Structure 1
Amino acid sequence: MLVAAKEASTTRRFATQLEEVQLANWLASKQTADDVFKLLKLDDEGVKLFKDPVFTTWVSYATKLDGNKSDALMFSVLKARYDDDVLANMFIVAKETRSTQKIAAKQETLLLAKWADDGKTADEAFKLLNLDTKTDDFLKSPALDSWESYVKLLGEDPFKLILATLTARYTDEGLARMLVVATKDHIPRYVVVGLEGALFNKWQDQEKSVESVFKLLNLNKAGDKILESPMLRTWASYVTKLDTKKPYEAMFSVLKTRYGDEVLTNMLIVAAKSGSTNYHVTRLEGVLLKTWVSDGKTADDIFKLLRLDKDGDQLFESPAFDMWVSYVTKLEGQNPDKLMLSVLKTHYKSGKLENMIIAAQNVPDTKTFAV
């Protein structure tokens, strides 16, 4: 009745006063925290304990009994009634509710400290938190956060241990795919980054090369769609860890060996237009352009290599045209337009070129260049 009255604005003040009187009576009669727990019939609540409206009354009484050590007092009462796995689950669930989040977090901290004092291993805690029963939704479990806290309490690397657990169930390629999906699946970023870092460290310890991880991720089976593969980001991240100065040069070398200049160039052109892997494609394209510069390729050489001399009136609409513009700009940063125009004049008569430029001014995708 008091609980209901405290929730109504018209009776809240009166109900609170009555509760204070009740707490004072219990104190006067020397009721223990355990006694009041029973009086409030909280014994019957089980894992729903924190949801019981009178739970807050018990918390208030425990605080009055021993303000400085009320959390420890409450924990001792709960520990005497529930097994560790039940307590752990109770605290995890209660942390998801704003009104009980703070007290549940404190109780969980005490539970984890007790486990550490009892000498429980990270693996034992893993099982107590029922994480060993999780399969596909392992990374989504709120218990994972609790286990991570315990492993850190032990002074160990939680992500290395999580990786060891997952490795027993999944191949490295399967793990990498799981992490790619996790980035889109509302899994906390720190978990994904931590696990990916642990996976990369494992590969480094095993001395896996740029080429071997390329195959491990099955990118060698992606065909000409490789630059659209979600695994490209994982490969790029690992290569960057191996070669922090020139990661994309290392990637380009593998791709060039596998596909050859012409096919790789066409793949980059198509991928750049799709925009699906824009950052990595742009970096790889940059390596390609630098390679052409190093090889002494002229603007006209690349114009022909990209077969732009075969596009006729559709030149400005060709997907390869943007790459050529980028190359000419790299060659002649001060006045690329002049160089481009000189090349175009060798392939088109003046009247035809003028008509193409005028037509391009009316097309949004080519207007910028044509103007």
Structure 2
Amino acid sequence: MALHSIILLAAGFLMCISSIAATTSNPDFTTKVRVFTDNHHSISTERMLRVESKGENDEARGGIDKLTNLITSKASKIRESADLKAAMYGKDNGVRALNKLHLGDDVASALANKKLDTLKMFITKFNEKNPNRQITLIGTLSARYGDDVVANTLQILHKNSLMPPELAATARTLREEQLSEWLMKDKSVMDVFKLLKLSDDGYETLFSRKMEVLVDYIKKFNVKYSEHETLLMTLTTSVGDESKLVPIIAKAKTNSLTEVNARRVENQLVKKWRSENLEPENVWKLLNMGTNADDVISSGKLRTFSKYASKYNKNNPNSEVSVIGIFTAKYGDAAVAKALLNAKDHPSTKEFATMLQMKQLEGWMKREMSVDDAFTLLKIKSDDTLSLVANKFDTLDEYIKLFNSENPLRKANTFTVLRDGFGEANFAIMLSKYSSSQPYASEYQDLLFKDWIKRKLQPMNFFVDIFKVPEEKLAAMSDEAKLVVTHYKNFYNTVSPQGLHDVRPRRS
């Protein structure tokens, strides 16, 4: 009751002060000299009211403002004290007190606010008066801002070297208290996973700062309950199965901030398979590779499989498996070659794909495959556009280099292999069709035309030898063949005899 009276009195006084301040600040208010009559012991006396100068009036005004601010501050503290006292006996968990103190809209602001000590004192007194309803600072912060937000903020603050030492120390202490409080409340690892809202972040960003919090909780959980929970088990449960987890691991490994956790989980996964003595073929099935060779590489599944196969081969030297062999058996040489070429264009898969491509080419050499066999194996002739063909040129070109290094007396070159593989007429048509849009086509067309000139094929009758069409039936030739005739005539008329020397293509 006394407290209520004090507040009312202060409020009334403030209204009075405000009224005075408003009146004296009115520009229409004029100060006049007035005569007042006083009676002192029945003797009438007159005195004059002194007129205040502007400076004196401002001084008085300033004094009133200071008094107003002082009383406002005092009243605010009185109200704050009253609110905290009400919260002390209320049924909340400290959040009301936190809100009344206006510590801030985020965890970092609250921890940096000077009033945090007031909240700590409140919690101490609250627990003294409510022994059966104990509250904590970390519990209050979590109830106000959310477990996940608090955990993430504390993780940032305690690891950031730019943070003030006191703030970093507070964050470190609270982080430990958060883990201990979860443990005291018998939270399972999956409970904490959900509290941290890791699945809400999207599984692409699963390995966030909050994951470090989960890792530390798993350690404490295993010590207390003598369990063997792992991050792998938790993540696998959260996504459904291991085949869905591997692509997440692969993506996380490309980020420097998440790479450590990603490799940790991948190692746990491989170790688990080894402990189960799984055959490589069973691991392949478990990973649910799918039907697209490109996806097998880009998803990271093939790399994880390769890691397991490497461990398996060390333990089983008499029954080693070949990753490229299994990959090729599942999808075919052509599809694998194309997938490896595509993977070489991406930084995250370039090194792995380059290694596998070399394994593929070495496998062909062991099978004593000729360069013409490689052309057939890659199904280059079945592609109807040069863009698709050119994608396989690289693999063929790499194999020819390897073949030549192993067979110096039987060296081949890509141009000859392509010309013979397609057939000269079809090769000429394809090159003319794409000579203006594909650098490879223009380059090989020049080589082809120079070869024709050396063979003394005249523009007016070369098609008899190349297309096997009699001269009198030239009009019946296809438009594609006629385009070759036009291109060859133009080339023949512009090239000089000196330009007919055998210029090697950029490829072999």
TM-score for both structures, normalised by structure 2: 0.45
Q: Equivalent of 2:173, from 80, 100, 107?
A: 107
Residue 326 (str. 1) matches residue 326 (str. 2): no
Instruction: Using the TM superposition, give the Cα deviation of residue 102 of structure 1 relative to its aligned residue in structure 2, in angstroms.
Output: 0.8
Q: What are the superposed Cα offsets for residues 82-124 of structure 1, whole Å, 9 maximum, x if unpaired?
A: 37644553853653565685144222255168559x8776x44
Match of 2:136 among 71, 75, 82: 82
1:356 aligns with 2:423: no
Q: Specify the code of the residue in structure 2 equivalent to 1:164.
A: M
2:211 to 133, 138, 144: 144
Could you tell me which amino acid in structure 2 is paired with residue 111 of structure 1? E
Within a 5 Å distance, the mapping from 1:85-164 to structure 2 comes to 85-87=139-141, 89=147, 91-92=150-151, 94-95=153-154, 96=156, 102-111=168-177, 123-124=187-188, 127=191, 131=195, 135-137=199-201, 139=206, 142-152=209-219, 160-164=229-233
Q: What's the offset of the Cα at 1:215?
A: 2.0
Q: CA deviation at 1:145?
A: 2.6
Confirm or deny: 8 A CA contact 1:85 1:129 kept in the other structure: no
| Residue number among 344, 360, 372 corresponding to 1:288 in the alignment | 360
The answer on 1:227 being equivalent to 2:294 is yes
CA distance in 1, matches of 2:169, 2:126: 13
Q: Does 1:269 align with 2:328?
A: no
For 2:200 and 2:310, locate their aligned partners in 1 and report how far apart those are by CA, in whole Å. 33
- The 8 Å contact of residues 159 and 195 in structure 1, kept in 2 or not, is answered as no
Tell me the CA shift for residue 159 of structure 1. 10
Distance (whole Å) between structure 2 residues aligned to residue 201 and residue 325 of structure 1: 39
Tell me, yes or no, if the aligned pair for 2:296 and 2:302 is still in contact at 8 Å: no
Stretch of structure 1 that moved more, 298-307 or 233-242: 298-307
> Does 1:51 find its partner at 2:189?
no
Distance change (3 Å), C-alpha of 1:91 and 1:150: same
Cα deviation for residue 243 of structure 1 reads 1.3
User: Contact 2:242 / 2:286 at 8 angstroms: preserved in 1?
Assistant: yes
> In angstroms, what is the RMSD of aligned CA positions?
5.3
Instruction: Give the aligned partner of residue 15 of structure 1.
Output: none
Deviation readout 1:261-314 (Å, 9 max, x if unpaired): xxx221133224433554443333222211222122334543454466899xx7
Change (3 A) 1:286 1:300: same
In the TM superposition, residue 196 of structure 1 has moved relative to its aligned partner by 2.5
Instruction: Look up the equivalent residue of 2:114 and give its one-letter code.
Output: T
**Are the aligned partners of 2:193 and 2:214 in contact in 1 as well (CA < 8 Å)?**
yes
Secondary structure of 1:297's aligned partner: coil
* Alignment check: 8 A CA contact 1:302 1:324 kept: yes
Contact 1:160 1:195 in 2 (8 A): no
Q: Partners of 2:126 and 2:409 in 1: how far apart?
A: 78
Cα distance in 1, alignment partners of residues 363 and 351 from structure 2: 19
Which amino acid is the alignment partner of residue 320 of structure 1?
K
TM-score, scaled to structure 1: 0.59
- 1:241 alignment partner, one of 298, 308, 311: 308
Residue identity opposite 2:109 in structure 1 = K
Shift of 1:358: 7.7
Letter of the aligned partner of 2:282 in structure 1?
A: S
Contact 2:328-2:336 at 8 Å conserved across structures: no
Which of 221, 244, 256 is the aligned partner of 2:328? 256
Secondary structure of the 2:278 match is coil
Q: Which runs of 5 or more residues in structure 1 are unaligned?
A: 1-34, 63-71, 360-365
Distance across 1 between alignment mates of 2:368 and 2:284: 30
Q: Is the 8 A contact 1:45 1:52 kept in 2?
A: no
| 8 Å contact kept, 1:289–1:327 | yes
* 1:144-201 C-alpha deviation (Å, 9 max, x unpaired): 3323223345676999523323444412223234434556799722232222222232
Quote the sequence identity (%).
Answer: 15
SS of the counterpart of 2:303? helix
Q: How many angstroms apart in 2 are the aligned matches of 1:335 and 1:105?
A: 68
Partners of 2:447 and 2:123 lie apart in 1 by: 81
Contact 1:315 1:321 in 2 (8 A): no
Q: 1:47 deviation in Å?
A: 8.5
> Which of residues 180, 198, 202 is equivalent to 2:268?
198
Q: Sort the Cα spacing of 1:136 and 1:101 in 2 relative to 1 into closer, same or farther, 3 A.
A: same
Once residues 184 and 388 of structure 2 are traced to their aligned partners in structure 1, the CA distance between those partners, rounded to angstroms, is 71
Give the match for residue 29 of structure 1.
none
Show structure 2 runs of 5+ residues with no match. Answer: 1-84, 89-96, 128-133, 158-162, 315-319, 429-443, 451-503
Do the aligned partners of residues 162 and 305 (structure 1) sit closer, same or farther apart at CA in structure 2, a change above 3 Å counting?
closer
Deviation per residue, 1:10-40 (Å, 9 max, x gap) = xxxxxxxxxxxxxxxxxxxxxxxxx9xx9xx
